[in-house]
Amino acid sequence: DQQVKQNSPSLSVQEGRISILNCDYTNSMFDYFLWYKKYPAEGPTFLISISSIKDKNEDGRFTVFLNKSAKHLSLHIVPSQPGDSAVYFCAASAGNTPLVFGKGTRLSVIA
Amino acid sequence: GAGVSQSPSNKVTEKGKDVELRCDPISGHTALYWYRQSLGQGLEFLIYFQGNSAPDKSGLPSDRFSAERTGGSVSTLTIQRTQQEDSAVYLCASSLMWAGTDTQYFGPGTRLTVL
């Protein structure tokens, strides 16, 4: 039973446009959400996070939105750059439980 | 400072053999985690260590899997009698403390192929 779902395995966006990556979760106990970015042959790197007490967190070109009622979060990248091409994982935790990861979305930013 | 390192980077083994995967966490990090990523799947939690506390082994898929952490630093993940379904990338991560909000820093992973 997947508690964290990333329903789009891949996404292509033109350079300069907005990339929107989506994530849905089923466990209402999740209270902390993270996005990790992974390049080939490297480990995931932390990108941005959001606590359940917020509905938005922004860091430069990256913004994460949380809709608790819909159990949905999204990562917005604007403007998208070719170096953003990677696999993006959504993850969630409930208190001090281990992180639960989605299957990832492969983003391709086309120059 | 150095990040999380893992060795070997690639391991090919025959079905039925035992393998050991090593993780060197970031110095000073008290929490260490093992995950695996099978083809087309997300990261699957296996086990974590926090300081001197008993490890949380709730994610280990079978009793063929075990892990230890010596001296609160280096960790070894051992898979006995490997099976083809064990083929995956095994990732290690560490964080300063154990907390759901603490950033985990990942190593590059060990790609295990069981023939």
A/B interface, count of CB pairs below 8 Å: 61
The first and second tokens of residue B16, run together, are 């039925």
Tell me the shortest Cα–Cα distance from B56 to chain A, in angstroms: 9
Q: Of A39-43, A51-55, A107-111, which range is least confident?
A: A39-43
How far apart (Å, rounded) are the C-alpha atoms in residues B34 and B57?
10
Q: For A98, which of B4, B56, B109 is closest by C-beta distance?
A: B56
Asked if B4 and B96 touch (Cβ cutoff 8 Å), the reply is no
Q: What is the pLDDT of residues B33-92, one digit of tens each?
A: 999 999 888 899 999 998 888 888 889 999 999 999 988 789 999 999 999 999 999 999
Cα-trace Rg, chain B: 13
The answer to whether the Cβ–Cβ distance between A98 and B33 falls below 8 Å is yes
Mean local confidence (pLDDT), A57-67? 97
The answer to whether the Cβ–Cβ distance between B42 and A98 falls below 8 Å is no
The answer to whether the Cβ–Cβ distance between A102 and B42 falls below 8 Å is yes
The residue of B29, B91, B101 whose CB has the most chain A CBs within 10 angstroms, and thus the best one to mutate to test that interface, is: B101
How far apart (Å, rounded) are the C-alpha atoms in residues A104 and A8?
8
Banded model confidence at residue B100, pLDDT cuts 50, 70, 90: low
Q: Of A50-59, B54-63, B94-103, which range is least confident?
A: B94-103
Asked if A106 and A10 touch (Cβ cutoff 8 Å), the reply is yes
Better-predicted residue by pLDDT, A109 or B72 = A109
How far apart (Å, rounded) are the C-alpha atoms in residues A18 and A14?
8
Mean local confidence (pLDDT), A49-71? 96
Q: Please report residues of B whose CB lies closer than 8 A to that of A46.
A: 103-105
Q: Please report residues of A whose CB lies closer than 8 A to that of B42.
A: 4, 6, 89, 101-104
Q: Please report residues of A whose CB lies closer than 8 A to that of B108.
A: 41-43
Q: How many CB atoms lie within 10 A of CB A78?
A: 15
Cis-peptide, bond into residue A79, ω within 30° of zero: yes
The answer to whether the Cβ–Cβ distance between B42 and A44 falls below 8 Å is no
